[in-house]
Amino acid sequence: MKTWTGSLEIEPAGKGRPTVTRTGIAFTPAKTRNKEAEVRYWLKQLDAPHFGDDPLEVSLVFYFIKPKSAKKRIYPTVKPDVDNVIKLILDSSNGILFNDDKQVVVCNARKVYGEPARVDITIRSLD
């Protein structure tokens, strides 16, 4: 089994909903496109391996900087939603870490406070 672990030095963000024009054309918001480009840049900088068509297990830890107003809070229970952050990372990884995010059959994710803000990724081939 092949395993890879990497840390993306980015602030976690959720994937935005596509905007649909009056004529029915859908497009991804610029903020989401920019964040996806940033994720792809870091994955290439880390020289991440390509897992081909293997079924995969992905573990993600999203680190957020704790605001002073959250003194008693242990976990970041504010936006972005964890499912939207997962979606942004997996969609951005298409063609770099794997052929398509449909290969991910097991996904573990959590949001925690920590510095610096980052995303830790562990991918394990299940073949």
Go through the domains of the chain in sequence order and give each one's CATH number: 3-125 (3.30.1330.70)
In angstroms, the CA 98 to CA 94 distance is 6
pLDDT in tens, 101-125: 999 999 999 999 999 999 999 999 9
Q: What is the DSSP letter of 53?
A: T
- This prediction has a pTM of 0.91
pLDDT score for 72: 86
In the block, which residue shows the tokens 């030095």? 9
pLDDT in tens, 21-75: 899 899 889 999 999 999 999 999 998 899 999 999 999 999 999 998 888 888 9
**What is the arrangement of strands in the sheet containing 104-113, beginning at the earlier edge strand?**
3-8, 118-125, 56-64, 104-113
Residues 6 or more apart in contact with residue 51 via CB below 8 angstroms: 2, 4, 97, 98, 103, 123, 125
Contact of 19 with 27, CB cutoff 8 Å:
yes
Cis ω before 116 (30° cut-off from 0): yes
Contact of 110 with 63, CB cutoff 8 Å:
no
pLDDT score for 69: 87
